Structure 1
Amino acid sequence: MTTTPVTLIVVDDDPEIRELLADYLGRHGYRALTAQDAPALRALLVDETPDLLVVDLMLPGDDGFTLCRELRRDSDVPIIMLTASADETDRILGLELGADDYLGKPFNPRELLARIKAVLRRARAGQGPPAPAEARVVAFGDWRLDRLTRALIDTHGQQIPLSGADFQLLQVFLAHPERVLSREDLYVLTRGRPSPPLDRSIDVHVCRLRQRLGEDAQHSQLIRTVRGAGYVLTARVEALP
């Protein structure tokens, strides 16, 4: 049986980077397509359904932020953002807009490959059927989570879709209710590797998840900050039939 290769799209206005990455990823078994800017990507997406996007932040015209915001309106396709900027604000904004990972330029293609594999693993874990020991729907606080559709459901039955990163983080909290989890715990459990020094991306993801749950950092009752220790999901988790 022939296995369909994973399709990646690299969006970068530098032709040398596009060619290098397409060749490198192709040699590692991926179907790598390229686009030089936002219009070229939109044209590709008419006929292609990629498994992951690698998007340069500083594109001519509509930049990576614009593309990420646009894609997140109706898609949860994993996105890795690339940037030559040293400004951490750009990194935080990219994560807030729904990027799944972030890599600074210049970078080693091997590191990008490792990040692609890690993000795809997380995405597949979220999209696959639940493990036998897990209920499809669980209740916590005033919310329910449908693990199959990855949708949060409020008390009125309204569904709120989650990105892959949001779903993965919530899954970690639901697996460890009423237990304080440090930033390092959360990073390892969601990314599968230790966090880089001074990395604060977990705080960004927790903030975004709180927003999905209708809370803010100052008044969060469901995911509380434990000063100097980390975060805790305060609600009990119950399986629903």
Structure 2
Amino acid sequence: MNTSFSIAVIEDDDDIADIIVCSLAEAGFHVQRFANAAAFHETLTKYRPDLCLVDLGLPDENGLDLVRLLSNTHHIPNIIISGKRALTDKLIGLELGADDYIAKPFESAELIARVRTVLRRVGNDDRQTTPPQQSLARFQQWTIDFNSFRLIDEHDEEVNLNRSEVEILRVFLHRPLQLLSRSQILEYLQLDVDSNFDRSIDVRISRLRNKLREDKQNPKIIKTVYGEGYLFAATVSWITR
């Protein structure tokens, strides 16, 4: 894998930051460390990293707010690094669009492996999984533009999707009317089935359903098949351009 990627580390703890920066640099990545969110925001106008590692306990901003901004506005892949091990913290982070979650303490080898996995997955984006002539798709009243992350309804109103929502929607659109288990979805998303649990898929799909304005009690597009998984029930048409 080409490791000439730029990685931003937003971590206020100097000791932990040193470990992360040294580990990534030794693995061949270009690394820039920020001790707080303000310093990162100031640089973001002229510096766009390929991946961000975000500590939740930043001194000047809730790390989850930064994750939301990176995922929903800037569409920059990000991994949460946090001392919080509670299931709810991980689920909230994934729901907001984080690509992975690493709990402290961690081994350097695990960190590098997770970073490479996310970079490999986000690098395998529309250019490979959706050919250029098939970057637009329609289903029911919706049109999705995978190149711009734009979901548009029949009134030309746009709904903003984050990267994780786009990735899951892409999985469904390429497999309409197919029953997909949670483990299959994880595999299609190129996530580690052992370290990413089924509940994270449920959370992401729930968020996607909200964006699609689904009835929570009786969803028509993404149906739950209890005990089995999910089925995308809409007809999909790809638009060649």
So what's the TM-score if we normalise by structure 1?
0.90
Matches of 2:137 and 2:197, distance apart in 1: 34
2:176 is aligned to 177
Quickly say closer, same or farther: Cα 1:162–1:33, change in 2 above 3 A: same
Matches of 2:68 and 2:130, distance apart in 1: 32
2:4 is the alignment partner of 1:31: no
Tell whether the 8 Å contact from 1:177 to 1:233 is kept in structure 2 after alignment. yes
2:228 is aligned to 229
So what's the TM-score if we normalise by structure 2?
0.90
Matches of 1:216 and 1:18, distance apart in 2: 44
Quickly say closer, same or farther: Cα 1:235–1:134, change in 2 above 3 A: farther
**Farther off after superposition, 88-97 or 123-132:** 123-132
Quickly say closer, same or farther: Cα 1:234–1:161, change in 2 above 3 A: same
Quickly say closer, same or farther: Cα 1:121–1:161, change in 2 above 3 A: farther
Matches of 2:205 and 2:72, distance apart in 1: 20
Tell whether the 8 Å contact from 2:224 to 2:231 is kept in structure 1 after alignment. yes
Matches of 2:71 and 2:168, distance apart in 1: 17
Tell whether the 8 Å contact from 1:141 to 1:236 is kept in structure 2 after alignment. yes
SS in 2 for 1:115: helix
1:211 is aligned to 210
Tell whether the 8 Å contact from 1:91 to 1:102 is kept in structure 2 after alignment. yes
The one-letter code of the counterpart of 2:39 is A
SS in 1 for 2:120: helix
Matches of 2:156 and 2:200, distance apart in 1: 31
Quickly say closer, same or farther: Cα 1:31–1:163, change in 2 above 3 A: same
The one-letter code of the counterpart of 2:64 is F
SS in 2 for 1:70: helix
Quickly say closer, same or farther: Cα 1:236–1:199, change in 2 above 3 A: closer
Matches of 1:66 and 1:171, distance apart in 2: 25
SS in 1 for 2:73: coil
Cα shift at 1:52: 0.8
Instruction: Report matched runs for 1:7-86 at 5 Å.
Output: 7-86=6-85
Quickly say closer, same or farther: Cα 1:191–1:129, change in 2 above 3 A: closer
SS in 2 for 1:5: coil
* Residue correspondences, number: 239
Matches of 1:198 and 1:73, distance apart in 2: 23
Cα shift at 1:133: 8.9
Gaps of 5+ in 2: none
Instruction: Give the share of equivalent positions with the same residue, in percent.
Output: 35
Cα shift at 1:127: 4.8
Tell whether the 8 Å contact from 2:10 to 2:54 is kept in structure 1 after alignment. yes
1:119 is aligned to 118
Tell whether the 8 Å contact from 2:221 to 2:233 is kept in structure 1 after alignment. yes
2:151 is aligned to 152
Quickly say closer, same or farther: Cα 1:73–1:199, change in 2 above 3 A: closer
> Could you report, residue by residue, the CA deviation over 1:37-64 in whole angstroms, capped at 9, with x for unpaired residues?
1122222323311111100111223121
Tell whether the 8 Å contact from 2:133 to 2:239 is kept in structure 1 after alignment. no
**Farther off after superposition, 211-220 or 176-185:** 211-220
Cα shift at 1:217: 3.3
Quickly say closer, same or farther: Cα 1:68–1:27, change in 2 above 3 A: same
1:95 is aligned to 94
> Could you report, residue by residue, the CA deviation over 1:73-114 in whole angstroms, capped at 9, with x for unpaired residues?
521101100111121111111112221111111111222222
What root-mean-square deviation, in Å, do the aligned CA atoms of Structure 1 and Structure 2 show? 2.2
The runs of 4+ residues in structure 1 deviating greater than 4 Å are: 129-134
Quickly say closer, same or farther: Cα 1:89–1:121, change in 2 above 3 A: same
